[in-house]
Structures are given as structure tokens and as C-alpha cells.
Chains A and B, each alone.
Chain A
């Protein structure tokens, strides 16, 4: 069964460093998403992406964040200058169409020191 994959599973970085979280969505899906979950808190929407552009973003998704689909398979989330409060589990998801079921990856646990 096709699944969303994410790499790395864990990442430790120093405050101020750039990180890139990678996701491979399900191959025939058209909509892509990033969510995050700070330890002990809700899963929060960050951004949705369709047709090579951002279709919606939350207030969390400020200028420090960017997303890219550099090729036909990868979908990346970049944090330019990490802060301590960026420490969280980051989930990628994809769906075949608008409003259809979102399929989630296993997540990347980011720790900013």
C-alpha cells in the first residue's frame, strides 16, 4: 500500500541553523501539507501546497518557513533560522484531491538546542 515517507526520523540542530525536512508524498496525490505537534500540544496546520504554490498557510508559517517541491517526488519544509520553540514533531501529509482524505507520514522529530 502506498505511503507517505519522511526523512530524517529525528534531527537535532543548534539554534539559528537551517534545517530541511523531507517528505515523499503518495505518487498520484496533488495536495501536500505540513503539520507540527509541539510536545504535549495539538497537531497544528502549517501550510498546504497545490500546483506548485502555497494554497493556505497558518500564522505559524512566517518568513522563517518555506516549502518546495523541487522535483516530481519530494516535498520539503525549510526552516531558515531555527528557534528553540521550533522543537516539535513535523508531519507531512498528501491527498489526491481537495477535501479528500489526507494521508500522513510518520513524522520528523526536530530538537533545537
Chain B
């Protein structure tokens, strides 16, 4: 079975500041890990994914995430926040070869001008 926990349902950062969104996972099999973003009135868009290759994964829009097995974490970061980053971010996990995605509760990111 898999699960993810996202710490912080709401995160606010100033424009230009570091963005850090936290995700911890639990998985009984080697995990595939994902970050999705949802802009208002839109679907879920894949930001990046980890599938057992490089532990530091780069995604779209300047985001990246690092898989840390020892900490069971997959935190999402961006060095400098932009106003357009305001959205809801979801961490998700699946098992290798498993189709089902298990999502966290999401983190709403607000950017302060």
C-alpha cells in the first residue's frame, strides 16, 4: 500500500523567495513519485516525476524535487517564486508497474508581491 503526506495545506512565499513544498511518502514497494499542479479551473498538470533513475528530478517551470529514501521524502523546490506559481500542488505515489496514483491532500501556494 502507498500513501503520501503533504505538510502544510497553505504556504505563502514572497515573490523571488525560495519555494519549498513538503511531501513524505510511504510505500511497500519501490515508489514512483509525482508532483502535479492545478491552476484555477484547470486539470492536474504533471510538474515532474521520479521513477528510480536520478534522485534529483527537474521539472517544468523551474521546479525540481529530490528523492531521499532515508527520509522517505520528495520535497518540491523552486529557487525563486514567480506570481504565476500561485496554484495548488499535489504530491502522488504509485508502485512500480502499478497504475493507481495515490494523492496527498494538496498544498495551496500563494505568492506575495
* Interface SS majority for chain A: strand
Q: B99 to A99, Cβ gap below 8 A?
A: yes
Partner of A99, one of B97, B103, B104: B97
Contact of B99 among A33, A43, A106, A107 (CB under 8 A): A33
Nearest-Cβ distance from residue B101 to partner chain A, whole angstroms: 6
Contacts of B45 in A (CB 8 A): 104
Q: Please determine whether A45 and B96 come into contact, CB atoms closer than 8 angstroms.
A: no
Cβ contacts B63-104/A at 8 Å (1 or 0 each): 000000000000000000000000000101010111111111
Judge whether A35 is part of the interface by a CB distance below 8 angstroms. Answer: yes
A68 at the interface (CB under 8 A from B): no
Q: How far is the CA of A6 from the CA of B91 in the complex (A)?
A: 23
Between B42, B43, B99, the greatest number of chain A beta carbons within 10 A of the residue's beta carbon is seen for B99
When A and B form their complex, what is the total count of cross-chain residue pairs whose Cβ atoms lie within 8 Å? Answer: 57
Bound-complex Cα distance A103 to B46 (A): 7
Q: Are B100 and A48 in contact (CB under 8 A)?
A: yes
- The reply to whether B43 and A106 form a contact with Cβ atoms under 8 Å apart is yes
Known: A44-B103, A45-B100, A99-B96. A105 touches B43 (CB 8 A): yes
Question: In the complex, how many residues of chain B place their beta carbon closer than 8 angstroms to a beta carbon of chain A?
Answer: 25
**What's the Cα separation between A8 and B67 when bound, in Å?**
38
Q: Which residues of B contact A43 (CB under 8 A)?
A: 44, 90, 92, 101, 103, 106
| Cβ distance B6 to chain A, nearest Cβ, rounded Å | 9
A55 CB within 8 Å of chain B:
yes
Of all chain B residues, the one with the shortest Cβ separation from A55 is B99
Distance from B98 Cβ to chain A, minimum over Cβ atoms (Å): 7
> Which residues, 68 to 102 on A, are CB-close (under 8 Å) to B?
91, 93, 95, 98-99, 101-102
Q: Are B98 and A99 in contact (CB under 8 A)?
A: yes
Within the assembled complex, what's the spacing in Å between the Cα atoms of A98 and B100? 10
Partner of A98, one of B49, B92, B99: B99
Query: In the complex, are the beta carbons of B41 and A106 less than 8 A apart?
Result: yes
Decide: A102 and B101 in contact? CB cutoff 8 A.
Answer: yes
